[in-house]
Structure 1
Amino acid sequence: MSWTYNPALLGNVTLYGNPGTVQIYLLVMALMALFLLLIRKGPLSRLGRHLGRQTGLRALGIGITLYLVIAVGASIALTDDAMLGALDPGVYVGILGGLLVAAAGHLLPTHKAVGERHQRFPAWLEILVVVLLVALALAAAAYGLGIGDPALFVAFLAFVAVIAAGLARGGFFDWLSIVVGHHRTVLLLATFAAAFAFPLTQNGSDANMSIATSVLIFAATAMGLNIVVGLAGLLDLGYIAFLGAGAYVGAMLSESAFATIDWKPPFIIVALIGALFAALLGLIIGSPTLRVSGDYLAIVTLAFGEIFRLTMFNLDGNNGPDLTHGPNGIPAIPELNFFGFDFGATHAFFGVPITRFANYYFLLLLLIGFIILVFTRLNNSRIGRGWIAIREDEKAAEAMGVNVFGLKILAFAGGAFLAGLAGTVKAHQDVSVTPDQYQFLESAFLLAAVVLGGMGTVGGVLLGAVILKLLPEKLRFFADYRLLLFGLLLVLMMRFRPEGLVANRRRQLEFHDDDEALADEVEAIHTEKVT
């Protein structure tokens, strides 16, 4: 059915029998609703008994209704067409259908898989599901970045959110967590294979690969902050200073004509020096301040971030030694060159052009892999358990013999080390370094990525970094309203899912300790993983 008689709205959905992109999204959601209904009352009901607590029909129905409202509202706002009369019956029929699906999900009795064994399939089939989901995520990322129309991009985001909500409420992710627990190596290899294949899907697009490299730098820095905030529970509001420290070291030791240090070691040495210098700053700021906690620690770290930025301004030769050229920064930083491989040149791989940003993207992927390895090893070690004990109850941890102050210092220094390592790469990727790049707002976004994604998790922080770095680039058409949208997103997250998008079960129970069904489900899932 036609949704509007105005072809400027929603990519021209004025025709009958010829669905547009946003209508295809709605058809996919309708097919998913049919599937969820069949696994609740139909030939697939045996599968539904083992997928989770609810069918997700109600969430999907509400999502379909909101999808139509958001898609139409965004299109009308972006085209300056305030006339709701431009809508044809197709929109109202779709809204009615969404309400009917929600009503069906509400009226059907919910089913709980508590106490039952979650459905297991042959190993090859589970591995195939994991690989297909990773491939689907790669295809969705490539498709989403290729959308140029603002209204269509908003509609695509709403479509992904509705599908994810329906699957989550339908218990699919609970089942998937058990499958992934048995095939972690497969998931890790498939994820990195998809990540390395991502530039091949962009056909040499510098714009999309520039966004991708920014996301990876942001994600690498957020992983370091995850040690400080997610594991040790230390609120750091000046963490961006450690990224800046690494970047300035990389710039001052580079081959730039504006570099202020004559020594020009190989980049591997520069990266190590930048990381160690950032770790040293972590020790300097941590030693006198980690004896305070809570709000006082947040204020001190906030002040440290501002002190670092102002210091970079003052090292201009007038107010101090000329190390950073003050507000002008250090420009003209040359491209990296490893064993004759020029990161600034375009290379061909199976006929696909690999541009400058794609070259840095591959390097940053290797860096992300190293950071994830360090984080997971620390998290699963005695040190990680000590950090978690400090986060849960510092006094109790100290009473049990945990070296609280030493572990706090180690968390600060370790997180700063990883941020400084990422900063040395960022200096070459950005070509220049200036103090304005390291403002408080960047620290706030890093913290938001950790909290939004899920503190103490790897996948959650990576997802949070992607959301908070990718969406501002794709939502530039909202101009000054971008921060308002992110603020609204965080408020909704803290209200409905305070543990983050990807949270471990411990965090879920901390925030939902009165949910007996969740406690029973966690026990059932844990038993399934053990067996």
Structure 2
Amino acid sequence: MTDIDTPVDDISEAPVAKPGKPIAWPLGLAGVALVIVGSFLSWSYDGQILNDLSINFYPNGLQILAIILALLSLVLLLVEKGPLVKLGSWLDATLGLRALGVGLVLYMVLALVAISVESDGLINVNPGGYVTLVGGLLIAVSAWMLPLHQLRDMSEARMPAWFDILSIAVLMAALLFTAAYALAQTEAWPLILCLVFVGAAATCLFRCGVMTFVSHAGQRHRKVLTLAAFAAAFLFPFTQNGDDTNMSIAGSVLVFSATAMGLNIVVGLAGLLDLGYIAFLGSGAYVAATLSTSAFATIDWKPPFLIVVLVGACVAATLGLIIGSPTLRVSGDYLAIVTLGFGEIFRFSMFNLDGNNGPNLTNGPNGIPGIPDLVLFGFDFGTDHTVAGVELTRNANYYFLLLILVGFVILTFSRLNNSRIGRGWVAIREDEKAAEAMGVNVFGLKLLAFAIGAFLAGMAGTVKAHQDGAVSPDQYIFLESAFLLAAIVLGGMGTIVGVLLGATILKVLPEKLRFFLEYRLLLFGLLLVLMMRFRPEGLVASRRRKLEFHEEDEALAVAVEEERLIAVEEAK
């Protein structure tokens, strides 16, 4: 393989660049200097706005974010012309700079608008804000003056193993601290600026090729990548300083992610459209509630929680088999309608099992409140604990338990995806008739997908019941099923990272953007429309999924075919 520092011997492999303007590079450097200088100056006269931007030579968090974007721009400028020029055949500095330039301009425009809206107009904007805006404009202008390059295939780049591992560690650390800082924002404008920063930085890293390199490094060191991801997730509660609100949101994200991963088996692998999947989560939650020591529980048997998890998961899987057996003989729109009906039947059944319209199992619309906190192996999840001088709240305790659950769900999904069963599901999704003609047990595999997906959702439901402290039918409405499906479509069907990302976006943003309460669904619908228009394969899509929407990409087709041949060889 080619080393990243190896010179290009064949002229046909050399980067081909359109000529750029000589003034572009110094203009970009000037823009970087202005952004950094402007960020050290005061942006606002009023110290009550945007976490206090009124102090000179003492940048606050939002100004530091602008400095980070400027430093990323400086690195790419040095790749274009400077000591890092050897990387120019691998990284597209121009595309990365364009993303950073546009991001900086948008960031500063929104910052100035926020200062104007929160105070008495632009009169309260100090010179530092304008200086930083001009710097962002210069970076954007210079980026459009720089030439585009023909790059080498990043899969051929080879660096020492320690560099690959360091890259993975730096990325995970950056994600951890960015998430901690963004969640710490309680006001509207600082959070919006954080989202713009994340969007600009992520777009830059993807477009210039850095994330492609990290992706290949992760493929070469999968165990390191997995370990680093879980280490970052494990350390997240230690960044919250005892903030129980953010840990509650994080716990909800993990429950949502585990449930979405189960639905990903049904929709992403087997291609079965299920619009009533939230019922399986609800069945697990109701099993845990009725078997708990709550004063409102209706079943006298009180087994240990580990038994409750298995019972709840098995009950959900049984419901999946009961519903799937008669309904999986239809497909497409008809299957979607049937599963939608099942979700509503489950919800109304929980209403009617109140002792008047049926046996008293669920207390009807009142639900089962007062579910006590878990106590496992002497550890009380309802008590605050202090570890390494950091207070871990009740929701932080459940967060760690849910993290273990998500790890189990991911392991199950990945093993199934790489097995003969997973290949059978993919074959059914691609062409059910062809799969059946080749001897695939179509009905049996469909039913298995329903049962396993329901089993995983039931497990998540048992933990959710204790974390929430109560269950009621109103928690399991059709909209929740729609959000689960949207998380899979948004993140990338059939992938692990994509579904986790989609679930995080759709769970965190509505919670943090409560000041847009009346427009949240409108923004959600707009996001989906834009995704379906510009990236229908999802944020993090598999190569096979990308090829379905980009059939003209010959290089991608070759890569997919190579992956298929490797899978066939492994199967033999």
Q: Distance in 2 between matches of 1:149 and 1:274?
A: 39
Correspondence for 1:498? 536
Correspondence for 1:131? 169
Matched, 1:37 2:91: no
Q: CA deviation at 1:170?
A: 0.4
Structure 2 counterpart of 1:113, from 132, 142, 151: 151
Q: CA deviation at 1:232?
A: 0.9
Structure 2 counterpart of 1:65, from 105, 109, 112: 105
Query: Cα gap change, 1:521/1:57 in structure 2, threshold over 3 Å: closer, same or farther?
Result: farther
Amino acid at match of 2:166: L
After superposition, give the CA deviation of every residue in 1:60-82 in whole Å (9 maximum; x if it has no partner): 222222223344445656x3x68
2:116/2:124 contact within 8 Å kept: no
After superposition, give the CA deviation of every residue in 1:286-345 in whole Å (9 maximum; x if it has no partner): 112112222221111111111111111111111111110111000111111112221112
Structure 2 counterpart of 1:299, from 325, 333, 337: 337
Matched, 1:196 2:248: no
Give me the TM-score of the superposition, normalised by structure 1. Answer: 0.93
Q: Distance in 2 between matches of 1:31 and 1:263?
A: 62
Query: Cα gap change, 1:402/1:512 in structure 2, threshold over 3 Å: closer, same or farther?
Result: same
2:89/2:152 contact within 8 Å kept: no
Question: Which is further off, 428-437 or 65-74?
Answer: 65-74
- Structural mapping, 1:500-515, within 5 Å: 500-515=538-553
Q: Helix, strand or coil for the counterpart of 1:395?
A: helix
Q: Distance in 1 between matches of 2:506 and 2:383?
A: 29
Correspondence for 1:170? 208
1:315/1:325 contact within 8 Å kept: yes
Matched, 1:386 2:424: yes
Q: CA deviation at 1:95?
A: 4.4
Correspondence for 1:289? 327
- Structural mapping, 1:226-237, within 5 Å: 226-237=264-275
Correspondence for 1:312? 350
Matched, 1:104 2:146: no
Question: Which is further off, 100-109 or 164-173?
Answer: 100-109
After superposition, give the CA deviation of every residue in 1:98-139 in whole Å (9 maximum; x if it has no partner): 444334333333223345764321111211221222122222
Query: Cα gap change, 1:437/1:234 in structure 2, threshold over 3 Å: closer, same or farther?
Result: same
Structure scoring higher RCO (CA < 8 A, sep ≥ 6) equals 1
Query: Cα gap change, 1:304/1:465 in structure 2, threshold over 3 Å: closer, same or farther?
Result: same
Give me the TM-score of the superposition, normalised by structure 2. Answer: 0.86
Q: Distance in 2 between matches of 1:432 and 1:341?
A: 21
Query: Cα gap change, 1:231/1:53 in structure 2, threshold over 3 Å: closer, same or farther?
Result: farther
Q: Distance in 2 between matches of 1:406 and 1:217?
A: 28
Q: Distance in 2 between matches of 1:116 and 1:428?
A: 47
Q: Helix, strand or coil for the counterpart of 1:348?
A: strand
1:225/1:447 contact within 8 Å kept: yes
Q: Distance in 2 between matches of 1:6 and 1:454?
A: 44
Number of residue-to-residue matches in the alignment: 527
Query: Cα gap change, 1:194/1:449 in structure 2, threshold over 3 Å: closer, same or farther?
Result: same
Q: Distance in 1 between matches of 2:400 and 2:408?
A: 13
Let me know the Cα RMSD of the aligned residues.
2.6
- Structural mapping, 1:5-84, within 5 Å: 5-14=45-54, 17-51=57-91, 55-73=95-113, 79=118, 83=121
Amino acid at match of 1:247: A
Query: Cα gap change, 1:325/1:393 in structure 2, threshold over 3 Å: closer, same or farther?
Result: same
Query: Cα gap change, 1:99/1:398 in structure 2, threshold over 3 Å: closer, same or farther?
Result: farther
Query: Cα gap change, 1:93/1:297 in structure 2, threshold over 3 Å: closer, same or farther?
Result: farther
Structure 1: gaps spanning 5 or more residues: none
1:10/1:72 contact within 8 Å kept: no
**Percent of aligned pairs with the same amino acid:** 65
Structure 2: gaps spanning 5 or more residues: 1-37
2:115/2:121 contact within 8 Å kept: no
Q: CA deviation at 1:513?
A: 2.0
Query: Cα gap change, 1:521/1:268 in structure 2, threshold over 3 Å: closer, same or farther?
Result: closer
Q: Helix, strand or coil for the counterpart of 2:391?
A: strand
Query: Cα gap change, 1:210/1:420 in structure 2, threshold over 3 Å: closer, same or farther?
Result: same
- Structural mapping, 1:329-478, within 5 Å: 329-478=367-516
Q: Distance in 1 between matches of 2:329 and 2:420?
A: 22
Q: Distance in 1 between matches of 2:476 and 2:421?
A: 30
Query: Cα gap change, 1:275/1:147 in structure 2, threshold over 3 Å: closer, same or farther?
Result: same
Question: Which is further off, 145-154 or 209-218?
Answer: 145-154
Q: CA deviation at 1:14?
A: 4.5
Q: Distance in 1 between matches of 2:92 and 2:557?
A: 14
Q: Distance in 2 between matches of 1:262 and 1:384?
A: 40
After superposition, give the CA deviation of every residue in 1:170-211 in whole Å (9 maximum; x if it has no partner): 011111111111111011112212222222222222112111
Question: Which is further off, 373-382 or 107-116?
Answer: 107-116
Matched, 1:140 2:175: no
1:54/1:169 contact within 8 Å kept: no
Q: Distance in 2 between matches of 1:394 and 1:520?
A: 24
2:261/2:409 contact within 8 Å kept: yes
After superposition, give the CA deviation of every residue in 1:459-513 in whole Å (9 maximum; x if it has no partner): 1111111111112221112221222222222222222222222112222222222
Structure 1 counterpart of 2:217, from 179, 182, 188: 179
2:77/2:93 contact within 8 Å kept: no
Q: CA deviation at 1:270?
A: 1.1
1:116/1:524 contact within 8 Å kept: no
Amino acid at match of 1:318: N
Q: Distance in 2 between matches of 1:42 and 1:516?
A: 34
Q: Helix, strand or coil for the counterpart of 1:56?
A: helix
Amino acid at match of 2:324: G
Q: Distance in 2 between matches of 1:116 and 1:238?
A: 42
Query: Cα gap change, 1:466/1:502 in structure 2, threshold over 3 Å: closer, same or farther?
Result: same
Matched, 1:324 2:348: no
1:68/1:95 contact within 8 Å kept: yes
1:5/1:87 contact within 8 Å kept: yes
2:375/2:381 contact within 8 Å kept: yes
Q: CA deviation at 1:40?
A: 2.2
Q: Which has the larger radius of gyration?
A: 2
2:491/2:499 contact within 8 Å kept: yes
Amino acid at match of 2:540: V
Correspondence for 1:257? 295
2:491/2:500 contact within 8 Å kept: yes
Q: CA deviation at 1:410?
A: 0.8
Q: CA deviation at 1:390?
A: 1.2
Query: Cα gap change, 1:427/1:117 in structure 2, threshold over 3 Å: closer, same or farther?
Result: closer
Question: Which is further off, 137-146 or 363-372?
Answer: 137-146
Query: Cα gap change, 1:241/1:93 in structure 2, threshold over 3 Å: closer, same or farther?
Result: same
